[in-house]
Amino acid sequence: MSEIAVLAGGCFWCLEAAYDELAGVASVKSGYAGGGTTNPTYKQVCAGTTGHAEVVRVEYDPAVITFPDLLDVFFTIHDPTTLNRQGGDVGTQYRSAIFYTSPAQQAAAEAAVEKFTPHWGRIVTEIAPLTIFYPAEAEHEDYFVNNPWSGYCQAVIAPKIAKLRKGFRERLKAPS
Protein backbone atom coordinates (compact mmCIF):
# COMPACT_ATOMS: atom_id res chain seq x y z
CA MET A 1 0.00 0.00 0.00
CA SER A 2 1.43 3.36 -0.98
CA GLU A 3 1.72 6.49 1.16
CA ILE A 4 1.94 10.19 0.34
CA ALA A 5 4.52 12.81 1.31
CA VAL A 6 4.10 16.51 0.50
CA LEU A 7 7.29 18.57 0.60
CA ALA A 8 8.32 22.14 -0.25
CA GLY A 9 11.96 23.03 -0.78
CA GLY A 10 12.14 25.83 -3.31
CA CYS A 11 11.15 25.29 -6.90
CA PHE A 12 9.05 22.17 -7.36
CA TRP A 13 10.96 21.29 -10.54
CA CYS A 14 14.04 20.52 -8.41
CA LEU A 15 12.24 18.28 -5.94
CA GLU A 16 10.30 16.48 -8.64
CA ALA A 17 13.46 15.64 -10.58
CA ALA A 18 15.16 14.29 -7.46
CA TYR A 19 12.31 12.18 -6.06
CA ASP A 20 11.56 10.71 -9.49
CA GLU A 21 14.96 8.98 -9.31
CA LEU A 22 14.36 7.11 -6.07
CA ALA A 23 13.47 3.43 -5.83
CA GLY A 24 10.10 2.98 -4.17
CA VAL A 25 8.72 6.25 -5.50
CA ALA A 26 5.73 5.50 -7.71
CA SER A 27 4.94 9.06 -8.77
CA VAL A 28 5.81 12.69 -8.12
CA LYS A 29 3.33 15.47 -8.86
CA SER A 30 4.17 19.17 -8.70
CA GLY A 31 1.62 21.42 -7.08
CA TYR A 32 0.73 23.92 -4.40
CA ALA A 33 -0.10 23.66 -0.68
CA GLY A 34 -0.16 25.70 2.49
CA GLY A 35 -2.07 28.73 1.30
CA GLY A 36 -5.56 30.14 1.23
CA THR A 37 -6.41 30.50 -2.46
CA THR A 38 -8.60 27.76 -3.96
CA ASN A 39 -7.24 26.23 -7.19
CA PRO A 40 -4.28 28.61 -7.51
CA THR A 41 -2.42 29.04 -10.77
CA TYR A 42 1.35 29.10 -11.21
CA LYS A 43 1.17 32.81 -11.99
CA GLN A 44 -0.77 33.51 -8.77
CA VAL A 45 1.59 31.41 -6.63
CA CYS A 46 4.68 33.05 -8.19
CA ALA A 47 3.22 36.47 -7.38
CA GLY A 48 3.38 35.45 -3.72
CA THR A 49 -0.22 36.44 -2.99
CA THR A 50 -1.79 33.01 -2.33
CA GLY A 51 0.18 31.85 0.70
CA HIS A 52 0.88 28.58 -1.11
CA ALA A 53 4.30 27.00 -1.47
CA GLU A 54 5.47 25.14 -4.54
CA VAL A 55 5.39 21.50 -3.40
CA VAL A 56 5.70 17.96 -4.64
CA ARG A 57 3.30 15.18 -3.78
CA VAL A 58 5.37 12.00 -3.59
CA GLU A 59 3.57 8.67 -3.74
CA TYR A 60 5.87 5.99 -2.37
CA ASP A 61 6.01 2.39 -1.15
CA PRO A 62 7.06 2.45 2.53
CA ALA A 63 8.26 -1.16 2.21
CA VAL A 64 10.96 0.12 -0.20
CA ILE A 65 11.61 3.69 0.99
CA THR A 66 10.41 5.19 4.25
CA PHE A 67 9.22 8.69 5.05
CA PRO A 68 12.41 9.30 7.09
CA ASP A 69 14.42 8.19 4.01
CA LEU A 70 12.54 10.78 1.92
CA LEU A 71 13.33 13.39 4.55
CA ASP A 72 17.04 12.48 4.46
CA VAL A 73 16.99 13.33 0.76
CA PHE A 74 14.94 16.48 1.43
CA PHE A 75 17.42 17.84 3.96
CA THR A 76 20.34 17.01 1.68
CA ILE A 77 19.22 18.56 -1.61
CA HIS A 78 17.91 21.93 -0.41
CA ASP A 79 18.95 24.58 2.12
CA PRO A 80 16.53 24.48 5.08
CA THR A 81 18.15 27.50 6.75
CA THR A 82 17.04 30.27 4.40
CA LEU A 83 13.60 31.64 5.15
CA ASN A 84 11.44 31.91 2.02
CA ARG A 85 14.36 31.42 -0.32
CA GLN A 86 16.26 28.80 -2.30
CA GLY A 87 19.13 30.36 -4.21
CA GLY A 88 17.74 32.98 -6.56
CA ASP A 89 14.13 31.90 -5.94
CA VAL A 90 12.76 34.29 -3.31
CA GLY A 91 9.32 34.49 -1.70
CA THR A 92 7.06 32.51 0.61
CA GLN A 93 6.20 30.23 -2.31
CA TYR A 94 9.80 28.91 -2.12
CA ARG A 95 9.81 28.19 1.61
CA SER A 96 11.03 24.97 3.14
CA ALA A 97 8.07 22.96 4.48
CA ILE A 98 6.92 19.47 5.32
CA PHE A 99 3.16 19.07 5.08
CA TYR A 100 2.40 15.95 7.10
CA THR A 101 -0.57 13.66 6.59
CA SER A 102 -0.43 11.74 9.89
CA PRO A 103 0.89 12.02 13.44
CA ALA A 104 3.65 9.56 12.47
CA GLN A 105 4.78 11.86 9.66
CA GLN A 106 4.71 14.84 12.01
CA ALA A 107 6.90 12.98 14.51
CA ALA A 108 9.29 11.89 11.74
CA ALA A 109 9.52 15.46 10.44
CA GLU A 110 10.32 16.79 13.92
CA ALA A 111 12.94 14.03 14.39
CA ALA A 112 14.50 14.87 11.01
CA VAL A 113 14.86 18.54 11.96
CA GLU A 114 16.56 17.46 15.18
CA LYS A 115 18.80 15.03 13.26
CA PHE A 116 19.92 17.63 10.70
CA THR A 117 20.27 20.64 13.01
CA PRO A 118 23.90 19.79 13.91
CA HIS A 119 24.72 19.76 10.18
CA TRP A 120 22.77 22.84 9.13
CA GLY A 121 22.49 24.91 12.28
CA ARG A 122 19.21 26.82 12.57
CA ILE A 123 16.56 25.11 10.41
CA VAL A 124 13.53 27.17 9.38
CA THR A 125 11.55 24.35 7.76
CA GLU A 126 7.84 24.71 8.48
CA ILE A 127 6.12 21.55 9.73
CA ALA A 128 2.36 21.78 9.20
CA PRO A 129 -0.60 19.52 8.50
CA LEU A 130 -1.57 19.11 4.85
CA THR A 131 -5.01 20.60 4.36
CA ILE A 132 -5.21 20.33 0.57
CA PHE A 133 -2.92 19.75 -2.39
CA TYR A 134 -3.58 21.50 -5.69
CA PRO A 135 -1.89 19.98 -8.75
CA ALA A 136 0.21 22.33 -10.87
CA GLU A 137 -0.48 22.90 -14.54
CA ALA A 138 0.59 20.14 -16.95
CA GLU A 139 3.60 22.05 -18.32
CA HIS A 140 5.33 21.71 -14.94
CA GLU A 141 5.31 17.91 -14.97
CA ASP A 142 8.64 16.24 -15.79
CA TYR A 143 10.14 19.69 -16.30
CA PHE A 144 13.76 18.59 -15.92
CA VAL A 145 13.26 15.56 -18.18
CA ASN A 146 11.61 17.71 -20.84
CA ASN A 147 13.97 20.72 -20.57
CA PRO A 148 17.39 19.34 -19.54
CA TRP A 149 19.34 21.98 -21.45
CA SER A 150 17.49 25.05 -20.22
CA GLY A 151 19.62 27.45 -18.21
CA TYR A 152 17.64 26.92 -15.00
CA CYS A 153 17.85 23.15 -15.30
CA GLN A 154 21.60 23.24 -15.93
CA ALA A 155 22.43 25.80 -13.24
CA VAL A 156 20.02 24.81 -10.47
CA ILE A 157 18.48 21.36 -10.94
CA ALA A 158 21.42 19.41 -12.42
CA PRO A 159 23.72 20.07 -9.42
CA LYS A 160 21.01 18.84 -7.03
CA ILE A 161 20.57 15.69 -9.09
CA ALA A 162 24.34 15.13 -9.08
CA LYS A 163 24.34 15.52 -5.28
CA LEU A 164 21.45 13.06 -4.99
CA ARG A 165 23.14 10.49 -7.22
CA LYS A 166 26.38 10.74 -5.29
CA GLY A 167 24.91 10.64 -1.80
CA PHE A 168 22.02 8.24 -2.32
CA ARG A 169 23.35 5.82 -4.94
CA GLU A 170 21.89 2.82 -3.08
CA ARG A 171 18.43 4.42 -3.12
CA LEU A 172 18.22 5.11 -6.87
CA LYS A 173 15.94 3.25 -9.26
CA ALA A 174 17.66 0.66 -11.40
CA PRO A 175 18.53 1.96 -14.87
CA SER A 176 15.87 1.09 -17.44
Q: Which residues does the annotation mark as catalytic? A: 11
Cα separation, 7 vs 11, whole angstroms? 11
Cα separation, 63 vs 125, whole angstroms? 26
Asked if 50 and 44 touch (Cβ cutoff 8 Å), the reply is: yes
Cα separation, 17 vs 158, whole angstroms? 9
Between the alpha carbon of residue 160 and those of residues 40, 42, 49, 73, 153, the distances in Å are 27, 23, 28, 10, 10
